[in-house]
């Protein structure tokens, strides 16, 4: 029994092998499997087929190659390096009569051939199309099979990550700009006499799959501003041969909310805060420190924003807005410095005047004391010398029947007891009479005059300081409304002229 089972299984295997093996050198019959017919179609087509020669039927009658670009997703857009990276599907279609077959003989609706830009790997001829403004050649894209139909029409679609070098324009409106990048495709070795590149229908399309959505990126594809064009170039290397070029212009929109919330709004708020010192008293020590802090904060925001901005010769909207805001904050700080300086300048002058008068009074008192001390010592010396003279002078006796009187020692008594008219008091000492002239010669004033003058100076300077405070308050009142109105006008003009930038 086991031997019979093995024999039966072997017999069925031979029958199945006989059924799936394609007949050789036989005409087509309905009983021939489909894959046998397709294989025979390919064998007949590739017999004596030269994959390096384009399917040109007549001289200077090129083969038309239609190209369509389906943009799947934006991978990266780098403004600083002027590059874009896109995930696209490059679709090419042309007609190669050498690959056609008779559908009445072979019931085959379509077939496929392995196609590649590499001459060693490809099975059929493919256009040598290349992207001119490339960072990375599209020859590095994945190789996929090309579909061929009975008429000889070929459709070759393959996914690719293309990196193009761009020349971005309209950056002056940043961050409210819409930029674009053009990609140029054309033949590399074969010119317009052999291959004529035409746009497909539609020439440019965009994927609608959910996985193709561009989210959480700075830029998104603007389908409305994306276009395709066809040009004919005559290059210096081949001036007598036309070179058709297909240009695809892809538009991009910037996510402006990030720049508005992170750069524009903080700068506007900081600028209005920089006008805060106009409401502070000129004698407040935090007036200048507040203004300096706001200005430094704005400079810090500008430094952070500089890393996000491209380096270009154009004046960017966001740069002018931030720079103008910093200038308003700077001039507000200058106004505060001027008001504070004007106030403290007069106060310092008043303090200097009071100090000078105080030094003047002290110097006068010291000089007077020294002068009086010197004069007192001179009077004592002169009094002792007069006594010595009186003791040496003999007494005069008047013999008139009265008591003898010592005129030398009793002069004062004689003057006191003498009858007759009132005698004027003795003259002031020379030391006291010459004090006024001494003070005048030293340029000194009496202490009570100095105190009086100091009080006058103090009152005058106090009134002047009060006037300066009022002047500073008036200046601040004018500045607070002037600066705010001018800055609001500046913002209105900047945002109203956005369409005119660039």
pLDDT given at position 384: 53
Q: In the prediction, which pLDDT does 373 show?
A: 59
Cis amide linkage into residue 202, ω under 30° from 0: yes
Task: Classify residue 17: in a domain, yes or no.
Answer: no
Instruction: Please indicate, yes or no, if residue 341 is contained in any of the structural domains.
Output: yes
Partners of 233 in beta bridges: 243
Query: What is the DSSP-derived secondary structure letter of residue 106?
Result: S
Chain mean position to CA 44: 67
Residues 296, 182: Cα–Cα separation, whole Å? 42
**Other CB atoms within 10 A of residue 111 CB:** 20
Q: By mean pLDDT, which of 115-129, 226-240, 304-318, 443-457 is the weakest?
A: 443-457
Identify the domain boundary among 204, 222, 254: 254
CA pair distance 263, 305, nearest whole angstrom? 7
Residue 130 has pLDDT above 90, yes or no: yes
Predicted confidence at residue 267, as pLDDT, reads: 94
Contact 325, 271 (CB under 8 A): yes
Give me the long-range contacts of 453-461 (CB less than 8 A, separation at least 24). 453/357, 454/354, 454/357, 454/358, 457/350, 457/353, 457/354, 457/357, 458/350, 458/354, 460/350, 461/346, 461/347, 461/349, 461/350, 461/353, 461/354
Q: How far from the centroid of its chain's Cα atoms is residue 346's Cα?
A: 42
What share of the chain in percent tops pLDDT 90?
A: 34
β-pair type (243-254, 111-114): unpaired
Tokens of 238: 């081949």
The residues, any chain, with a CB within 8 Å of residue 32's CB and separated by 6 or more, are: 22, 23, 26
| Cα separation, 213 vs 221, whole angstroms | 10
User: Residue 338: is its pLDDT beyond 90?
Assistant: no
Determine the pLDDT at residue 287.
83
Choice among 47-61, 88-102, 210-224, 268-282 with the minimum mean pLDDT = 210-224
Q: Do both 132 and 39 map to the same domain?
A: yes
Distance of CA 485 to the CA centre of its chain: 25
Residue 463 has pLDDT above 70, yes or no: no
- The lowest-confidence range among 22-36, 83-97, 381-395 is 381-395
Confidence category of residue 282, pLDDT binned at 50, 70, 90: confident
Final residue before a domain boundary, out of 233, 254, 275: 254
169-178, 363-372, 438-447, range with greatest mean pLDDT: 169-178
Q: In this structure, what token pair is assigned to residue 415?
A: 């003057």
In this structure, the answer to whether residues 268 and 246 fall within a common structural domain is no
pLDDT tens string 195-248? 999 999 899 998 876 666 666 788 888 888 888 899 998 988 888 889 999 999
Half-sphere exposure of 476 (CA within 13 A, CB side): 24
pLDDT grade for 1, boundaries at 50, 70 and 90? very low
Cα angle 338, 341, 343 (rounded to 5 degrees) comes to 110
- In a shared domain, residues 276 and 215: no
- Cβ count near 69 (within 10 Å): 25
pLDDT for the residue 336: 87
Q: How distant is the alpha carbon of residue 218 from its chain centre?
A: 17
Predicted pLDDT of residue 119: 87
Mean pLDDT of 435-464: 54
Shared-domain flag, residues 238 and 157: yes
Find the range with the poorest average confidence among 4-13, 110-119, 203-212, 328-337. Answer: 4-13
Tell me what pLDDT residue 95 has: 95
Position 30 pLDDT exceeds 70: no
Query: Are 240 and 120 in the same domain?
Result: yes
396 has pLDDT over 60 = no
One domain, residues 314 and 353: yes
pLDDT at 344: 75
Tell me: do 265 and 130 sit in the same domain: no
| Alpha carbon distance 245, 258 (integer Å) | 38
Q: Is residue 429 part of a domain?
A: no
pLDDT tens digits, one per residue of 407-416: 444 444 434 4
Q: Are residues 262 and 323 located together in one domain of the fold?
A: yes
Q: Is residue 455 domain-resident?
A: yes
Residue 2 lies in a domain: no
Lowest-pLDDT range, 18-22, 80-84, 398-402? 398-402
- Number of residues written out for the chain: 502
User: What CATH number is associated with residue 306?
Assistant: 1.20.58.390
CA angle 120, 121, 127 (to 5 degrees): 90
How many domains is the chain partitioned into structurally? Answer: 2
Residues 6+ apart with CB under 8 A from 46: 123, 124
Looking at residue 80, its pLDDT comes to 81
Residues 461 and 480 in one domain: yes
Asked, for residue 193, whether it belongs to a domain, the answer is yes
User: For residue 186, what pLDDT is reported?
Assistant: 93
Would you call 83 helix, strand, or coil by DSSP?
A: strand
Torsion sign, CA atoms 20, 24, 30, 35: positive
What pLDDT does residue 382 have? 53
- Assess contact for 364 and 442: CB atoms under 8 A: yes
Whether residue 182 is contained in a domain is answered as yes
Residue 24: pLDDT over 80 = no
List the structure tokens of 372.
Answer: 């009086």
Q: What is the pLDDT of residue 405?
A: 40
**pLDDT the model gives residue 4:** 43
Same domain, 228 and 109: yes
Q: Is 74 helix (H, G, I), strand (E, B) or coil?
A: strand
Q: What is the mean pLDDT of the chain?
A: 77
Residue 79 included in any domain:
yes
Helix (H, G, I), strand (E, B) or coil at 250: strand
Domain end point (choices 231, 254, 277): 254
- Domain of 173: which CATH number? 2.70.170.10
**Separation CA 424–CA 422 (nearest Å):** 6
User: CA 25: distance to chain centroid?
Assistant: 77
* 263 and 301 Cβ atoms separated by less than 8 Å: yes
Q: Are 113 and 148 in contact (CB under 8 A)?
A: yes
Residues 348, 250: one domain? Answer: no
Query: Which carries the bigger pLDDT value, residue 147 or residue 398?
Result: 147
| 191 and 103 share one domain | yes
Domain, as residue range, for 317: 257-371+436-502
Digit-coded pLDDT (tens) for 75-110: 999 888 889 999 999 999 999 999 999 888 888 889
Q: Please, which pLDDT band fits residue 305 given cuts at 50, 70 and 90?
A: confident
Give percent above pLDDT 70 in the chain.
66
Q: Do residues 89 and 156 touch, judged by C-beta distance below 8 A?
A: no
Query: Distance (Å, rounded) from C-alpha 474 to C-alpha 468?
Result: 10
Mean pLDDT of 478-485: 90
Which backbone phi and psi does 433 adopt, to 5 degrees?
-75, -25
């Amino acid at each position: 029994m086991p031997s019979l089972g093995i024999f039966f299984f072997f017999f069925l295997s031979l029958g199945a092998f006989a059924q799936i093996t394609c007949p050789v050198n036989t005409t087509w019959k309905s009983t021939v499997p489909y894959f046998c017919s397709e294989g025979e179609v390919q064998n007949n087509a590739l017999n004596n087929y030269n994959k390096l020669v384009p399917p040109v039927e007549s001289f200077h009658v090129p083969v038309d190659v239609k190209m369509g670009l389906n943009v799947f997703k934006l991978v990266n857009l780098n403004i600083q390096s002027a590059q874009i990276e896109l995930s696209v599907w490059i679709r090419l279609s042309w007609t190669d009569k050498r690959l056609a077959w008779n559908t009445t003989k072979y019931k085959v609706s379509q077939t496929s051939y392995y196609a590649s830009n590499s001459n060693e790997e490809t099975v059929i001829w493919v256009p040598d199309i290349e992207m001119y403004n490339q960072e990375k050649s599209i020859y590095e894209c994945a190789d996929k099979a090309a579909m061929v139909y009975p008429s000889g029409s070929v459709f070759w679609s393959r996914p690719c990550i293309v990196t193009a070098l761009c020349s971005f324009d309209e950056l002056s409106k940043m961050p409210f700009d819409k930029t674009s990048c053009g990609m140029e495709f054309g033949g590399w070795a074969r010119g317009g006499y052999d291959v004529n590149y035409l746009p497909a229908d539609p020439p440019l399309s965009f994927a609608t799959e959910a996985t193709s959505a561009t989210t959480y990126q700075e830029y998104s594809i603007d389908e409305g501003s994306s276009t395709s064009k066809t040009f004919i170039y005559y290059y210096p290397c081949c001036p007598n041969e036309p070179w058709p070029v297909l240009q695809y212009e892809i538009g991009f929109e910037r996510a402006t909310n990030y720049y508005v919330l992170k750069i524009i709004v903080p700068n506007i708020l900081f600028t209005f805060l920089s006008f805060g010192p106009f409401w502070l008293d000129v004698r407040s020590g935090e007036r200048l420190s507040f203004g300096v802090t706001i200005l430094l904060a704005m400079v810090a925001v500008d430094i952070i924003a500089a890393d996000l901005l491209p380096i270009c010769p154009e004046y960017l909207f966001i740069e002018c807005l931030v720079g103008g805001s910093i200038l308003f904050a700077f001039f507000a700080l200058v106004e505060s410095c001027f008001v504070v300086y004007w106030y403290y300048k007069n106060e310092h002058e008043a303090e200097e005047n009071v100090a000078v008068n105080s030094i003047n009074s002290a110097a006068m008192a010291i000089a007077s004391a020294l002068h009086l001390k010197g004069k007192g010592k001179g009077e004592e010396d002169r009094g002792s010398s007069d006594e010595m003279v009186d003791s040496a002078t003999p007494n005069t006796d008047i013999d008139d029947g009265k008591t003898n009187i010592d005129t030398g020692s009793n002069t004062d008594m004689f003057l006191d007891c003498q009858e007759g008219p009132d005698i004027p008091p003795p003259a002031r000492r020379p030391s006291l009479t010459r004090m006024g002239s001494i003070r005048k010669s030293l340029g000194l004033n009496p202490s009570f005059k100095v105190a009086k003058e100091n009080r006058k100076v103090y009152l005058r300077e106090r009134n002047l300081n009060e006037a300066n405070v009022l002047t500073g308050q008036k200046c601040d009142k004018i500045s607070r409304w002037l600066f705010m109105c001018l800055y609001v006008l500046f913002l209105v003009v900047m945002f109203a002229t956005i369409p005119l930038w660039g």
